[in-house]
Each structure stands twice: as structure tokens, then as C-alpha cells.
């Protein structure tokens, strides 16, 4: 059962009525649980009140006003006729709303997803050709199957492997690509076969003299109106206002007679049923792109659902959301829809309009269907350059400037991931751009984790209650015979060489490894510790361990490493480990011809250091 928590405005869910059967109440409860997992919409439907329904109707009307221009725009981005964007706004939205876990997220056509669809399929078939739409439907079907499979296998945590920085870099690159793809419509220039980022700009610069000024003025007036209305009041239907201005400007300039192209009328029919062609060649050509698109769509959907869930105090079931997204794309592929995902704009507007349940999504979709059937000529007079201007504003919104500035200012590694993902999105096939970003982020992560810090620690005489502290940061004096090193990171196979090179600097000394910052030790790490203990001992020093977590020592315990290294060399605290070395240090001083306490300022063994009876050795935790 979805672990949804209703919004504060919704009444609390009523407990199910107790029904006795021959197999007992427990069997009935289990059956109800399975049914609620299969049909999650039954949960909120049972709780739907007249007040909730009224709020959802109002929110659905607002959502329809928003999705109509968006659906048309995203279809054009995907290289498809406008009707297919509205099909996705109907079928994908309804299925995802009914089978997802979020009560407010609105799914359907989305900008970045549309761009990936275009970027993937346009390399195999030209937009508008007989082969283009079947390939789009096949891609959408494959995306749905992958998403549904991941949901059924309860792999909701998969999206956590792709960092937020990769998503920001990719969506920013997609925004630039979307804007670039609309330049030909904005300037009214035929760019031939140019479809790549660099190719489009090169062709545009070579054909600027062919600009249609009526087309350019129409597009720029729409773009500027959209920007101004958004800045004045974001709650206004800025898309509709901008489109109205664009239509008016185009009419004043002469419309089609002046060479301004129009979007064209809709088909005026229900979404047609079509079987996606899933032949072997198609699967081979689209497999990699389908997986990348499936993961990207899930990341967007989960991110949006969680963001809205924070506002509505609703817990999101990631696996159920995977299932909802998968079913919506799978079903949509049979009804001429291209791949969709969650829309932050429409989801936020849906919540702000007072939606209580996914009924608002169903209402919006039905209104779009009514427009499609009753007013199919609504797009016949929409100027194509006006749509291009509108799409450019949408594309600009994909570039999250605030987050980009934060990443560039805070972390050099994250900045590298961001820049590489962004450039890969512009210059490589889009599915490879996502994989490139993930690969770079994983390589940098492994590089960082394979270089754990070994921080020199020492007692602070001014704050003895704090124990040992960072010697370099607080400029603390250290003993010449004993070195306390805090391990900041895991001791695994990738870190072995780095740690051994660091420990080589302390040959002949007594080393105490403080493990408060170590989360994990694997077999390679345990073997390294055993080898280093033997090497230090042969050179007249020693290696002790203290403060390691129990679960970090499990491998050492099971592998017998603690026995071979000596349990007496493991301590709970640094003080206990230091006290155990008192005799060894005194002997080292005598060997140098010094007195046993030859370092009067030493914070470990001098007069201010640990004296007899202090830092008593504690019982090893695994003894």
C-alpha cells in the first residue's frame, strides 16, 4: 500500500471495515493491501469528499489552460504534430495520476524529455517522415517497460546514483539545445539538414540574410511578452497572454500572406490506437537511449513529486511512482503519445490552485480531450514563430542559474561534473550525455573515496576536555615518538596504496590510528593494516587502533586479522592507546641517551601529559 499521508485539508483516512471470512481477517487485510498496491487510486477515491471534488474541478480547469499551449510546444520540440502533445497530456497524465503515489504531481509532455526524444529519433529518421512517429512510439514503449520493470523490482533507489549536478547540467544543456532548435522558426530560415548544435548555428550564420522580418517580429513579440508577464505576475497565464499577443502581431503583419507559417489545425479525433513496432533492429537502435530516457524521466518525476510532497506534507512512495510513470508511458505508446514525465510547472500550479487528489489531473485531461474533439481548429491560427518564442522562454527556464552559481562557487569537483555534462549534452547524442555525466561523477567520487585523509591529531592543553584535536589546524605540539592519525574515509581496496604511502612517512614511530571517521574496512584494507603493523614493528615502532566502529571491524574479526594483529593493540579511546605506549616511549628515550621524560613540553608524556593511572586501557570490544 502506498504510504501516502493526505494533505492537511483532506479528512483522515477511515480504517477499513472489519470483514470476517472463512480464511480469517488477516487474509482479508492482506488481500486489501495487495489490491491497494495494484490500484492505488482506490485509496484517495474512498476519501474523496464533495469539498475535495470541488477543489479538484477548479484546479483541473486551471491545469487545462496551462497544458494546452505546453502540449503543443512540447510536441513541436519532439518533432511531432501538435496533436501528439495533447495526446500525451491526456493519456500519460491520467495513467500516471491514477497509478502514481503523488496526489498533486502532473505528468505528461515535458521539455527535456521531448528534446531527448527528438535528439534520439531524428538520427534514425527525419521528422515528418513515415518512419519517424513509429520510432517515437517504439522508444516510448521501451521507456515504459524499463520504468515499470524497475518499479516492480522495487529499485526506486536507482535514481540516487545520478547526482543532482548531472541533472542540472543535462537540463541546462537541453534548454540550450531546445532554444537552438527553434532558431529556424524564429528567423523564418530554412536550415536544410542542419540538426546538431554547432551545425545549426553555422547554418544560421550563413543564412541570416534570408531572415523573414515579419516572422522574426512575431516571434520576438511573443518572447518579450512572455518574459514581461512572468515578471509582473507569475500567477497569470503568461503562455496564453503571450500567444494572444503573437497571434495579434502576426495578423497585423499579414499572417500567412506575409509568409508567416502557422502551426495548423488538430486532427479532431481521439488518440488513435497504434501498435509500437518493436522489431529486433528497433530494439537494438533505441535500447541505450530508452534506458537513459527512462532514468531521466524517473529522476524528474521523483524530484518533482518529492518537492511538491514537502509542501503538501505527503510522503512519496518512489517504487509506486516508478510504476505509475512506467504504466503511463507504456499505455501512451499505444495511443500515439511520446514519452512523458512529471512537469514542475504544471504540478506546482496544480497544488497552488487547491488540488486535493489526482482527480484534478483527470479533470484537466478531460478538458483537453474536449478541446481536441470540439475545437480542433484552435491551433490553425497559431503562428509558428510565436510558438518558437514561447518555446525559447520554456527552454530558458530549464537553466537553473542559481543552482549553477552555487555549484561553481562551492565545489570544484561538482563544477567539473556540471561543465562536462553540459558540454556533452550540446555535442554528443543526448543518451550518451547522461551516461557521460554519471561516469564522470562516479570517477570523481571513487577518486575522492580512494584518498582518505590521515589527519595528525594531538591533545589540546587549553581544552583537555576535548581530547585529541587536529594538530595542524590548532597548531598543537606533537610527540616525536608517537603519531596519532585520524582516518577520514573507508579503508577499502581503492584506498590501500594511498594509505600505505602516507604511513611510510612514519616508519619507526608508534602510530595510533583513530577510526572515528572510518565507516568501512574490506579484506584488502584489513590486509594492508596487518602488513603495515608488521613493517612498523620491524622498524622499531608499532601500530595501534582505537575508536573504530563495530561494523567497520566485522571483516577484521571474521578474517582473523584482529587475532593476528593482537587484540591488545585495539583500544576504545586515544588516551588508552597513548597510555599503553608509555613504557615504549621511555625506552626509546633511554636509547637516545635521554631521560624517560625528555620532552618537558610534550602533551603526551611530559609533565602536562598523561601520567601513570591515566588513560587506563579499556577492554577491547571484540575480546
Read off the pLDDT of residues 150-199 as tens digits, 9 standing for 90 and up.
999 988 777 777 788 988 998 899 889 989 988 988 998 887 766 688 88
CA-wise closest residue to 150 among 303, 321, 342, 34: 321
- The whole-number pLDDT of residue 611 equals 43
Question: Cα separations (Å) of 270 from 273, 335, 375?
Answer: 9, 9, 13
Provide the whole-model pTM: 0.76
Packing angle of the helix pair 82-99, 318-333 (nearest 10 deg): 140
Where are the strands (E) in 339-420, listed by range?
341-343
Residue ranges of the chain with pLDDT lower than 70? Answer: 1-34, 36, 193-195, 465-466, 584, 586-623
- The whole-number pLDDT of residue 623 equals 34
Who contacts 445 (Cβ-Cβ below 8 Å, separation ≥6)?
A: none
Q: How many CB atoms lie within 10 A of CB 297?
A: 28
First to last CA, the chain: 45
- The whole-number pLDDT of residue 15 equals 41
Question: What class, spelled out in words, does domain 453-591 have in CATH?
Answer: alpha beta
Cell 478541446 belongs to residue: 371
**Nearest-angstrom CA–CA distance, 70 and 387:** 10
**Nearest-angstrom CA–CA distance, 107 and 93:** 5
- Grid coordinates in use for 39? 490500484
- Grid coordinates in use for 262? 502557422
- The whole-number pLDDT of residue 194 equals 64
- The whole-number pLDDT of residue 206 equals 85
- Grid coordinates in use for 10? 483532506
- The whole-number pLDDT of residue 10 equals 41
**Nearest-angstrom CA–CA distance, 356 and 312:** 9
- The whole-number pLDDT of residue 622 equals 38
User: Is residue 486 helix, strand or coil?
Assistant: strand
- The whole-number pLDDT of residue 162 equals 79
- Grid coordinates in use for 107? 505528468
- The whole-number pLDDT of residue 193 equals 66
Element (H or E) spanning 618, and its range?
Answer: none
**Nearest-angstrom CA–CA distance, 559 and 235:** 64
Question: Cα separations (Å) of 621 from 124, 391, 549, 553?
Answer: 63, 64, 10, 10
Contact between 392 and 136 (Cβ < 8 Å):
no
Ranges for all domains in the chain classified under CATH 3.30.750.24: 453-591
Phi, psi of 127 (to 5 degrees): -55, 135
**Nearest-angstrom CA–CA distance, 365 and 94:** 7
- The whole-number pLDDT of residue 220 equals 95
User: Is residue 18 helix, strand or coil?
Assistant: coil
Contact between 280 and 143 (Cβ < 8 Å):
no
pLDDT in tens, 119-128: 999 989 999 8
Amino acid at each position: 500500500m502506498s504510504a501516502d499521508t493526505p494533505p492537511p485539508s483532506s479528512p483522515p483516512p477511515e480504517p477499513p471495515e472489519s470483514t470476517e471470512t472463512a480464511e480469517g481477517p488477516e487474509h482479508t487485510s492482506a488481500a486489501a493491501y495487495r489490491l491497494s498496491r495494484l490500484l492505488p487510486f482506490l485509496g484517495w477515491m474512498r476519501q474523496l469528499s464533495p469539498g475535495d471534488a470541488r477543489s479538484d474541478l477548479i484546479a483541473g480547469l486551471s491545469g487545462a489552460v496551462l497544458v494546452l499551449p505546453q502540449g503543443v510546444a512540447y510536441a513541436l520540440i519532439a518533432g511531432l504534430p501538435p496533436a501528439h502533445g495533447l495526446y500525451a497530456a491526456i493519456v500519460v497524465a491520467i495513467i500516471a495520476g491514477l497509478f502514481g503515489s503523488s496526489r498533486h504531481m502532473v505528468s505528461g509532455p515535458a521539455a527535456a524529455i521531448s528534446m531527448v526524444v527528438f535528439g534520439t529519433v531524428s538520427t534514425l529518421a527525419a521528422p515528418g517522415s513515415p518512419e519517424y512517429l513509429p520510432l517515437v512510439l517504439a522508444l516510448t514503449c521501451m521507456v515504459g517497460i524499463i520504468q515499470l520493470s524497475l518499479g516492480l523490482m522495487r529499485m526506486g533507489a536507482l535514481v540516487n546514483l545520478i547526482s543532482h549536478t548531472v541533472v542540472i547540467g543535462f537540463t541546462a544543456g537541453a534548454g540550450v539545445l531546445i532554444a537552438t532548435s527553434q532558431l529556424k522558426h524564429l528567423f523564418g530560415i530554412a536550415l536544410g539538414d542542419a540538426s546538431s548544435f554547432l551545425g545549426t548555428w553555422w547554418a544560421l550564420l550563413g543564412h541570416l540574410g534570408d531572415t523573414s522580418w515579419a516572422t522574426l517580429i512575431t516571434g520576438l513579440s511573443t518572447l518579450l511578452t512572455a518574459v514581461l508577464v512572468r515578471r509582473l505576475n507569475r500567477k497569470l497565464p503568461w503562455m496564453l497572454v503571450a500567444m494572444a499577443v503573437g497571434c495579434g502581431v502576426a495578423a497585423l503583419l499579414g499572417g500567412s500572406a506575409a509568409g508567416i507559417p502557422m502551426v495548423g489545425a488538430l486532427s479532431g479525433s481521439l488518440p488513435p490506437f497504434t501498435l509500437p513496432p518493436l522489431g529486433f533492429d528497433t530494439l537494438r537502435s533505441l535500447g541505450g537511449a530508452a534506458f537513459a530516457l527512462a532514468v531521466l524521466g524517473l529522476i524528474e518525476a521523483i524530484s518533482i513529486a518529492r518537492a511538491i510532497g514537502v509542501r503538501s506534507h505527503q510522503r512519496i512512495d518512489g517504487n509506486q511512482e516508478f510504476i505509475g510513470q512506467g504504466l503511463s508511458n507504456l499505455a501512451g505508446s499505444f495511443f500515439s503519445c511520446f514519452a512523458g514525465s512529471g512537469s514542475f510547472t504544471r504540478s506546482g500550479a496544480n497544488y497552488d490552485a487547491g488540488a486535493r487528489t489526482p482527480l484534478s489531473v483527470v479533470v484537466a485531461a478531460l478538458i483537453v480531450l474536449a478541446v481536441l474533439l470540439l475545437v480542433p481548429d484552435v491551433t490553425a491560427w497559431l503562428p509558428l514563430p510565436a510558438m518558437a518564442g514561447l518555446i525559447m522562454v520554456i527552454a530558458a527556464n530549464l537553466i537553473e542559474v542559481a543552482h549553477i552559481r552555487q555549484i561553481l562557487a562551492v565545489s570544484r569537483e561538482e563544477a567539473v561534473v556540471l561543465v562536462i555534462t553540459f558540454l556533452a549534452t550540446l555535442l554528443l547524442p543526448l543518451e550518451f550525455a547522461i551516461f557521460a555525466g554519471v561516469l564522470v561523477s562516479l570517477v570523481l567520487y571513487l577518486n575522492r573515496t580512494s584518498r582518505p585523509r590521515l589527519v595528525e591529531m594531538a591533545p589540546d592543553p587549553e581544552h583537555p576536555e576535548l581530547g585529541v584535536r587536529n594538530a595542524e589546524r590548532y597548531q598543537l605540539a606533537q610527540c616525536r615518538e608517537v603519531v596519532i592519525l585520524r582516518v577520514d574515509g573507508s579503508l577499502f581496496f581503492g584506498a590501500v596504496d594511498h594509505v600505505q604511502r602516507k604511513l611510510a612517512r612514519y616508519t619507526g614511530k608508534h602510530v595510533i590510528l583513530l577510526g572515528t571517521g572510518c565507516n568501512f574496512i574490506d579484506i584488502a584494507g584489513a590486509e594492508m593494516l596487518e602488513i603495515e603493523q608488521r613493517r612498523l614493528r620491524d622498524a622499531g615502532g608499532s601500530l595501534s587502533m582505537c575508536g573504530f566502529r563495530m561494523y567497520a571491524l566485522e571483516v577484521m574479526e571474521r578474517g582473523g586479522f584482529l587475532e593476528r594483529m593482537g587484540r591488545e593493540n585495539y583500544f576504545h579511546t586515544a588516551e588508552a592507546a597513548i597510555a599503553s605506549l608509555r613504557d615504549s616511549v621511555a625506552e626509546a628515550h633511554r636509547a637516545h641517551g635521554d631521560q624517560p621524560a625528555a620532552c618537558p613540553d610534550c602533551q603526551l608524556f611530559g609533565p602536562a601529559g598523561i601520567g601513570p593511572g591515566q588513560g587506563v586501557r579499556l577492554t577491547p570490544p571484540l575480546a
